[in-house]
Structure 1
Amino acid sequence: MRTGGRVVIVNPREKETSKLQNYSLDKERSYPVVKANTLVQKARHQLTAKELKLVDFMVSKVREDDTGFKPIETSIAEINQVMSFGRGSKNTDETIKALLALSNKGFWLKIPNAITISRWLQTAKIDENGKASLQLDPQLAPYLLKLVESKTGHARFSLADVVVLKSKYSIMLYELLMSWRGSMGVNGHPDEFLEYFGKSDMKWWIFNGKILTPAINEINSKTGIKVHYATRKQGGRTVEVELDFKGEFSQEQWDQMK
């Protein structure tokens, strides 16, 4: 073939290798992330966007018939490629640091009559060649294992949608909506949304302009759903927030999320 006046010879093996790599990447991103609604809706944490994505990467490795958490054998290069974190030594170092930070971060879960304090990552072993062995914390088992079989209410979505979202608030909102996909929306008092996003000390109008609206816009422009946002006011104050969404998935994608 010709381009720019030069003859370019394409090696058929390189072309085939590229196709296989793209297929493998698409396959990895197509795996579902499945979490109990309780974990999505009730867990309170302060994770960064990268840490949220690392959690979802690990959860996507959990299979429906797993009875326990198996070590996730991967590499920093694979994580960076699947999650679009970028290549090179700088991005490698940043992902390793994010895993270290994640291993030291926990979350608290408020359930009836109790508060449970847990963490996401039990162990992370990374060798000098970048090979990694990751282990989810066993306390996550009730929220990640056998959810379909037990008919526990759960959020189910494609890892690919998480990959394209840049803001941590977009990821959190997307997952919250997926946990309410049966009713295609969620509504509540503004204070409930502020608490969910860890912004209880922020004024609603600031939160709405700086966090909620940009998150909705990013979800609408990058994922398979379109979010509609409405509020109800009383005496000039917002007293109720309603978020509903329409899916733009194929029938196969919807079936996978059931």
Structure 2
Amino acid sequence: MKPARPKRTRQRAAVKAVKPSLSPETLKEAQEIIGYRFKEPAQLERAFTHPSAIAPSGDTVKLSNQRLEFLGDRVLNLVIAERLIDRRQSDSEGDLAPRLNRLVKKGACAEAMRHLALQRFLLLSESEVASGGRDRESTLGDACEAVIAAIYQDGGLAAARKFIERAWAPQFENAPAETKDPKTLLQEWVQGQGHPLPEYIVTGRSGPDHAPVYEVEVRLPMGKAAATGPSKREAERHAAALMLRTLTGAQ
């Protein structure tokens, strides 16, 4: 009778039985595409492992990319926020927020995976593959966040930032140009005409505390315009836009 294997050996065999894997050659290819060589390639393999690929007897939390996804989302938000702060120094918080949201949403992460053609490395169950999981936005987005986290844990923030800059390059280049804030446009117009800067006065506030309505007047030597908004800033923007249309005849 063969001697029983040590407990630790049996545990390792059990893990292999419940989790699929990528060959060393495939992991090497994936790392070349990503542009980062892992000290621990198993981290990258885990990032590619969808929960569906773990057999019922396996530990989905430890073996799949779920926890990495949680961390990667935070790293991505930090890197994109840093990039926006650095490259859009004249933008206000209100201008930066929608740009950030567009670049960190699941669809943007999925697009980054498609840009580098990393979806073919995903480890999925047969039923998940059959149902289109390899191109599903949520699956790709989660895996992308997991890859970011794996790079971050293995190589630090600089390595993660380099990957994000590469994977998001088309989205950075094709980001829609947003028009300037109406207050900025009005200020530029009056300065160009040699007039003093606009003055904004809060003339009223109504509504409950959780849903206030502010009324603001913008005043210039040649006239004034009033508008309302859910915040002082929004009311000022609306008033500036109205004044600008009055002065320039723009629609």
Q: TM-score, normalized by length of structure 2? A: 0.24
Name whichever structure is richer in helix by fraction.
2
The higher-RCO structure (CA 8 Å, 6+ apart) is 1
Q: TM-score, normalized by length of structure 1? A: 0.23
Which structure has the bigger radius of gyration? 2
